[in-house]
C-alpha cells in the first residue's frame, strides 16, 4: 500500500462513527438484520444491537469465556469490543486499526462505557508482526476484506492464536472492489424495478459511473439531459458555482445550462422504462477507499490454506445490499402490512436466486480454529 492510499484510507475511516442502531442501511434495517441472522443461525428471532456477537458467543464460546486475551482487527470506533465486553467475553482486549481518528474515538467510547480492560493502538495489518501464541480469540469484524496483504495477516493471526484458539470473521466475500458480473447487475436492476417508485431510485436519477465524479463531469451529463428534455437527477446544478480549477469551457457550459434552464421546461418521457437504475461502481469505490473489498473474493480460499477446522455460514446480500438504498430504508415501514409483504418478497427473490445457482452469496460468517 502506498502512502497516498494509506492517507486516503485513514481519512475515510477516521470521521464520525455511525450509530450502530440506526436502521439506515442493509446491515442495520431491522427486517434485513433478522434475515441475516436467520441465514447464519437458522433461527427466526427478533434481533438487536450486537446480535451477531451474542449469537457467536453463545454458539462457539460459551464454555471458554472469559478468555484471557482477545485481539480485535480493524476495530474502527470499537463497537464490537464494547459489545464483547458487555458479554463478559474477555479479561483483556487489544483493538487495532489503521485510522488514528477511529482509535481515539474507540478509546473515548470505551472510557465512557466504563471498560478499562480494552486497549487500542494504531497499526497497519498489512505489515504487522504479532506475538506468537498470545491470544485465545481474534475477532475480525468486517476486517479482512480491507487487507491487501491477506496471506501475511492470516499467517500472523494463526501464529498469534494459542493452540485451540478461535478466529471469528464476519466478512463481505463478494467480488473484488464490488465489481459485480453482468448477470448480477442485471438481476439487481430487475429487482429494483419491482420495488414501488416511492421506495427507490428511478431511471431518471440514474447516472453512469463515468459521469458521477468529478463534479464537472456530472455537470456535463446533466447538461446532456437538459438538451434531450429529460428530467434531471439529484445534483443541484442551479446552485452549483464554478471552481478556480475548472477549465474555462466548463464555466461557459455551466452558464449556458443555467440560461437554458430558465427558458426551456424539462419534461419526463411517458414510456415504459426497463433500463438501468443501478450499476456497479468499482472505480468510484477504489477512489473513495482503496482498501474496500481489495481482495474480498480470496478471503475464504486463503483462510482454508491455513486453517483446517472452519465453519462457514453464508448470509447472502447478493441483491439486497445493492438494490435497497437510503430512500427505501427511510420510507419503507416494516410495521405496515403491505411494506412487510414487499420486504418478504424481496428476501424470497434473493434466497431463490442464490439457491438455484444464479448468484453466489456475498457475505460469510466464518469460525476458524487453530489445532490444539
Answer yes or no: do 160 and 245 share one domain. no
Residue 328 to residue 234: CA distance in whole angstroms: 16
Answer yes or no: do 231 and 100 share one domain. no
Examine the pLDDT at 146 and tell me if it is beyond 80. Answer: yes
Examine the pLDDT at 9 and tell me if it is beyond 80. Answer: no
Element (H, E) at 330: helix 326-331
pTM metric for this prediction: 0.81
Residue keyed to cell 451474542: 54
The SS3 call for residue 369 is strand
Q: Report pLDDT for 254.
A: 74
Answer yes or no: do 116 and 228 share one domain. no
Q: Report pLDDT for 131.
A: 96
Answer yes or no: do 249 and 218 share one domain. yes
Examine the pLDDT at 106 and tell me if it is beyond 60. Answer: yes
Closest CA relative to residue 85, chosen from 105, 55, 65, 63: 65
CB proximity list for 170: less than 8 A, separation 6 or greater: 52, 140, 141, 142, 365, 366
Torsion region of 94: left, alpha or beta (phi above 0 gives left; psi -120 to 50 gives alpha):
beta
Query: Residue 234 belongs to what domain range?
Result: 211-272
Q: Report pLDDT for 12.
A: 47
Element (H, E) at 83: helix 79-86
* Structural domain count, the chain: 2
Answer yes or no: do 89 and 228 share one domain. no
pLDDT tens digit string along 177-200?
Answer: 999 999 999 999 999 999 998 998
Answer yes or no: do 302 and 160 share one domain. yes
Domain of residue 169, CATH code: 3.40.50.150
From the number of C-beta atoms within 10 Å of its C-beta (0-12, 13-18, 19+), residue 82 rates as buried
Answer yes or no: do 94 and 170 share one domain. yes
Q: Is the peptide bond before 214 cis (omega within 30 degrees of 0)?
A: yes
pLDDT tens digit string along 251-272?
Answer: 777 777 777 666 655 555 555 6
Residue 348 corresponds to which cell in the numbers above? 424470497
- DSSP β-ladder status, 135-141 and 90-97: unpaired
Examine the pLDDT at 309 and tell me if it is beyond 70. Answer: yes
Q: Report pLDDT for 234.
A: 46
Answer yes or no: do 221 and 258 share one domain. yes
pLDDT tens digit string along 12-57?
Answer: 455 555 545 455 789 999 999 999 999 999 998 888 888 999 999 9
Q: Report pLDDT for 268.
A: 52
Examine the pLDDT at 215 and tell me if it is beyond 80. Answer: no
Q: Among 10-19, 56-65, 158-167, 180-189, name the one with the lowest average pLDDT.
A: 10-19
Averaged pLDDT, 210-219: 70
CB proximity list for 216: less than 8 A, separation 6 or greater: 246, 247, 250
Answer yes or no: do 63 and 164 share one domain. yes
Answer yes or no: do 215 and 103 share one domain. no
Residue 207 corresponds to which cell in the numbers above? 447516472
Q: What is the mean pLDDT of the chain?
A: 86
Q: Is the peptide bond before 66 cis (omega within 30 degrees of 0)?
A: yes
Closest CA relative to residue 138, chosen from 205, 176, 84, 193: 84
Q: End-to-end CA distance of the chain, in Å? A: 34
Amino acid at each position: 500500500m502506498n502512502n497516498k492510499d494509506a492517507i486516503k484510507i485513514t481519512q475515510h475511516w477516521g470521521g464520525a462513527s455511525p450509530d450502530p442502531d440506526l436502521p439506515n442501511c442493509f446491515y442495520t434495517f431491522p427486517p434485513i438484520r433478522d434475515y441475516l441472522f436467520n441465514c447464519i443461525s437458522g433461527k427466526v428471532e427478533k434481533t438487536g444491537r450486537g446480535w451477531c456477537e451474542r449469537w457467536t458467543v453463545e454458539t462457539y464460546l460459551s464454555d471458554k469465556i472469559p478468555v484471557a486475551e482477545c485481539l480485535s482487527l480493524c476495530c474502527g470506533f470499537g463497537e464490537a469490543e464494547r459489545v464483547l465486553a458487555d458479554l463478559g467475553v474477555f479479561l483483556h482486549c487489544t483493538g487495532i486499526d489503521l485510522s488514528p481518528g477511529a482509535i481515539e474515538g474507540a478509546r473515548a467510547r470505551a472510557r465512557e462505557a466504563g471498560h478499562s480492560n480494552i486497549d487500542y493502538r494504531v497499526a497497519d495489518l498489512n505489515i504487522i508482526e504479532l506475538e506468537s501464541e498470545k491470544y485465545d480469540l481474534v475477532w475480525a469484524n468486517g476486517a479482512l476484506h480491507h487487507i491487501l496483504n491477506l496471506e501475511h495477516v492470516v499467517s500472523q493471526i494463526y501464529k498469534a492464536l494459542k493452540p485451540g484458539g478461535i478466529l471469528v470473521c464476519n466478512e463481505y466475500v463478494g467480488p473484488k472492489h464490488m465489481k459485480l458480473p453482468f448477470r448480477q447487475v442485471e438481476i439487481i436492476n430487475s429487482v429494483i424495478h419491482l420495488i414501488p417508485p416511492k421506495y427507490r431510485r428511478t431511471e431518471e436519477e440514474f447516472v453512469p459511473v463515468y459521469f458521477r465524479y468529478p463534479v464537472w463531469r456530472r455537470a456535463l451529463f446533466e447538461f446532456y439531459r437538459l438538451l434531450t428534455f429529460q428530467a434531471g437527477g439529484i445534483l443541484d446544478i442551479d446552485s452549483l458555482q464554478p471552481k478556480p480549477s475548472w477549465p474555462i469551457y466548463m464555466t461557459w457550459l455551466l452558464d449556458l445550462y443555467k440560461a437554458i434552464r430558465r427558458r426551456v421546461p424539462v419534461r419526463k418521457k411517458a414510456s415504459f422504462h426497463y433500463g438501468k437504475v443501478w450499476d456497479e461502481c468499482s472505480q468510484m469505490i477504489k477512489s473513495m477507499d482503496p482498501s474496500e473489498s481489495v481482495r474480498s473474493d480470496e478471503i475464504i480460499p486463503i483462510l482454508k490454506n491455513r486453517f483446517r477446522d472452519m465453519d462457514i455460514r453464508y448470509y447472502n446480500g447478493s441483491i439486497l445490499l445493492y438494490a435497497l438504498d437510503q430512500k427505501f430504508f427511510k420510507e419503507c415501514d416494516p410495521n405496515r402490512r403491505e411494506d412487510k409483504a414487499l420486504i418478504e418478497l424481496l428476501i424470497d427473490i434473493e434466497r431463490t436466486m442464490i439457491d438455484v445457482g444464479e448468484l453466489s452469496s456475498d457475505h460469510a460468517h466464518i469460525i476458524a480454529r487453530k489445532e490444539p
